[in-house]
Amino acid sequence: METKEIRKQKVVITYGTFDMFHFGHERLLKRCKEQGDILIVGVATDEYNVQKGKKAVQSFEDRLKYVESLPYVTRAIPETGINPQWYEDYEKYGVDVIIMGDDKVGELDYLKKDMNLVYLPRTKEVSSTEIREAI
């Protein structure tokens, strides 16, 4: 009898603020989805942004709702910080890979001893900060 392969679905997770969703965000998330079957996106809460010294124009609820509506996003969840959340998510969702834009190269390398973390190149010439400043 022929044996059919049973393949576990590959789970990808990424995190960010996603304020005024732009084509750099879209390109990043689409490339994340190409790396797996399930894409979970952690959206930074307003409180977490305050901790990071960041002020989004859109509320957390609006940013979360928008990201969740995207057809290539399986689920959007609140992100309240790296430790302990990323470690807990990694176990809870059976994450295969965390993907982040390469603006985090160096800053997040310490996580690589515990997790599979990969960086993707950012899209040039667009950022929420630039859009905020232009407005």
Instruction: List residues near ligand CTP by CB under 6 A.
Output: 16-19, 24-25, 28, 54, 100-101, 103, 122-123, 126-129
Q: Where are the beta strands (DSSP E) in the chain?
A: 11-16, 38-44, 75-79, 97-101, 117-120
Smaller CB distance to ligand CTP: residue 11 or 13?
A: 13
Position with the least CB separation from ligand CTP: 101
Tokens 């399986």, residue located:
74
What are the Cα distances from residue 11, in Å, to 6, 35, 75? 15, 9, 11
Beta carbon of residue 102, minimum distance to ligand CTP (angstroms, whole number): 7
Indicate the residue among 11 and 28 with the shorter CB distance to ligand CTP.
Answer: 28
The catalytic residue positions are 52, 54
